Chain A
Amino acid sequence: MGHGPEQVISSDQIKRRGGLMFAALIRLGQAALTALAACVIVFALLPLAPGDPANRVLLARGVETPTPAEIEATRVELGLYDPMPVQFINWLGNVMQGDFGLSFTSQASVTQEILERLPATLILLGLALGFSIVFSLSFALIAAGFRDRWPDHLIRIYTQIGAAFPTFVFALLALTFLIVGFQMGQVLADVTWQAALIPAFIIGLDRAASWTQLLRAGLLQAMASGYADVARTRGASEGRILLRHALPNAILPFLTAIGVSIGALIGGAPLIEAIFTWPGLGAYVLEALSARNYPVIQAYVLIAALSYVAAALLVDLAAILLDPRLRDPSK
């Protein structure tokens, strides 16, 4: 970026800066509403589930044949006679303080149990996300820069294969050859960054396939656009056009795709962790699902939903920072 001329701030510009704040506030408000809606749905899992919650809680506490008095006492204790909105607000208040209640199966605090397992999942997913962003960005730029030459052909074969097969195929291959065959990494993994490398690499490589396709297509479209052509007539090199003009214009759909798949990534974590025997939340959540351990399921679904909302918000904010048309109040 060169130095601009002396900064003259006109009322026009102030309005535009106001436009940025306004657009950002709108997105924030929308995100808050989405988060609230997610909370309502997650809360509704419990009262909408079949059977008497009091019975289930008592069963979880080891009371197999409770007396009517015991059931009555538990109902009062759980606040089941309160109107639904009051129950929701109580529940939401607890959740905001990090209290998801007691696990139906272990009687331990759900929050405590999740916090023990969360770091492992975060390490794996974070590393996988990082890998996939780096892979897709570099592959797409290489493919677009070498359009219709061998690097492009190679990358397109990779994206086809990656998009065609589900992750676990590659995971199994990696397990068989890399980890068992060549003794790289561990079968029963400890939670360390090193141990997460190979699984994250595989997940990242797989995720990156469709993102590479998306970004490559966007880059090629931008390279064929009028502004790219005009930049050529000014004497700009292809590389300069690719990085300065095509990439910023093509990156928004790419960021949106990443934002959308964050929720899917967390939702799909149990499967991935099961393959690599990764001691994260996966096994815990699978177990909770089969035991209908609602407080655990609620906590996990809420984490996935809120991560999605946060990611979508970040993508939206990036979009209005990047594209002046999106913060123009007249549009």
Chain B
Amino acid sequence: MTSLAKPALSCSGLSVRYPNGSMPVRNVSFSVAAGECFALLGGSGTGKSTIARALLGLHGGGSRIGGSLQLDGVDMAQASKADWRRIRGHKIGFVAQNPWVSCDPLRPVGDHVAEAWRCHGLPVRWAEIVARLDRLGVPEAAVRIHAPPHTWSGGMLQRAAISAATALTPPILVADEPTSALDADRAQSVIQALKSAGSAILLISHDIDLVLRNADRIGVLDQGELVEVATPSDLRSRPRHPATKRLLAALAPLPPRRKATSPSPLIRLEAAGVSYKRGRIQALPATNLSIGAGEIVGLQGPSGSGKSTLLRLVMGLETPSTGTIWRDPILQRPGAILPVFQGPLASLVPHWPIWRSISEPLTARGQPRLSKQQLKARAAEAMQSVGLELVDPHARPAELSLGQCQRVAIARATITRPALIVADEPTSALDSPSIQHVSTLLRQAADHGAALLVVSHDQGLLARLADRTVTLDAKNLQATTSGHTQD
């Protein structure tokens, strides 16, 4: 896509310097033509979000912007706060990651959209709001705009956010991970809505799959620098920079399974269901599920379909209201079922050194008593097995990246060689290279004989990782199983 007109956005030699002197963004130059979808791709900590905030003038009082930053032909690098306030909404729009977080929970969604006009003192054109929402794929928009955000689904609410961001038809729209809070099946349609809204798009994402499918051009960020700009097909076929190659590795299939799964189940749910308040609230409809040793079972379904309840049932934290659960006696011993959680940082004790978190399952009842030195040695072993041998075992979780924290969590979950590992969205907080690393580790654990139940909304991940996937459907209240052909 080429345009003879001035670019919607152009940066040259853009840098951001924090008050402490560090520079999270260095010498970044790119431009986005009218109507183009330009993606900035990079793992966590590569400066993506810092660039987004700088482009909107939200870089914070102490930070300094260097280089030039042109919005619709006007240089904003040294603009004042008042200048920025005037052009936001008019010259640049923004769509945030999580639509529920970005809406004031007390106000109806229509108000959220109308703010785009109101905060510039412009009259609100309700008919236009409704028409635009309608065009973006929000049915019954005239009625729905009166409802508060918590009654909206993520995909619909993100459409409303797109409508608000493009209300004043800004030439450029910055979208920072606009789909990562949404279910996978809704993500693509939201991207379509984003592209149909009429502005050029700067799409910021760590999701290489999403970016390859949707962007016209892709810029790869690594350690605050733009290391490569290419079209999706060039990037895929001829990646030049090592960082690009690392990102692409996330799309590569996992190595084939080493071990055939055992036919005898470790745990078997027979029409097990959970309901609360004497059956009035159904948390999980009657579900059949069996998991064998060494088997990886994926679990997916929309929010509210009972995924978490099913996990709690399997872990024995909840008893079924109907149906039965049969467990192999091996699952009765303490530490036989270990979890891996969604938020790696939240699942580690913040003031513990990581060796202590990793070795904690070894201190459970029924385990042989080990000295502190022995525990540290076992933790070091486990860290080596997840590729963290270069990390100080005495470090605290906050000193590690999210991907490293999740590997610590996996080291903890595998240290006692549990019979069953239950992972709840283990990769949703991670960037592409970390996702690849974590899924390889989970696969290894299964190859060593552990059964795995993995909940994820990332269908690509489940397709690569799981032997078969169970889908919980909120509407039919039925669990359907689909197998993956893997040879």
Contacts and interface: CB of A to CB of B under 8 A. Distances in A.
A227 B104 contact: yes
Contact of B114 (A2, A8, A324): A2
A13 B106 contact: no
Interface stretch (A82-90, A235-243, A306-314): A235-243
Interface stretch (B11-19, B86-94, B400-408): B86-94
Interface in A311-327: 322-325
B58 A232 contact: yes
B118 A2 contact: yes
A325 B58 contact: no
Contacts of A10: 140, 143
A225 B104 CA distance: 9
Contacts of B397: none
Interface string A233-267: 11111001000010011000000000000000000
B192 interface: no
Contacts of A237: 85, 119
Contacts of B130: 5
Contacts of B164: 234
B88 A225 contact: no
8 contacts: A2-B124, A10-B140, A233-B56, A233-B94, A235-B90, A237-B119, A324-B105, A324-B106
Nearest to B56: A233
A226 B143 contact: no
Nearest to A9: B143
A235 B119 contact: yes
Interface of B: 56, 58, 85-90, 92-94, 96, 98, 101-108, 110, 114-116, 118-120, 123-124, 126-127, 129-130, 140, 142-143, 145-148, 150-151, 161, 164-165
Contact of B126 (A4, A231, A322, A331): A4
B89 A234 contact: yes
A328 interface: yes
A230 interface: yes
A240 B94 contact: no
Given A226-B96, A235-B86, A237-B85, A5 B150 contact: no
A77 interface: no
Contacts, number: 103
A240 B103 CA distance: 15
A229 interface: yes
A12 B106 contact: no
Interface of A: 2-6, 8, 10, 12-13, 16, 225-227, 229-237, 240, 245, 248-249, 322-325, 328, 331
A12 B94 CA distance: 31
A227 to B, nearest CB: 5
Given A5-B130, A235-B87, 11 more contacts: A226-B98, A226-B102, A230-B94, A230-B96, A233-B88, A233-B93, A233-B165, A234-B89, A234-B94, A248-B106, A324-B150
Nearest to B101: A226
Given A8-B143, A234-B164, A237-B85, A227 B148 contact: no
A229 B96 contact: yes
Nearest to A3: B126
Interface hub of B92, B103, B105 (most chain A Cβ within 10 A): B105
A31 B129 CA distance: 42
B115 A234 contact: yes
A8 B145 CA distance: 11
Contacts of A12: 143, 147
A226 B158 CA distance: 14
A256 to B, nearest CB: 16
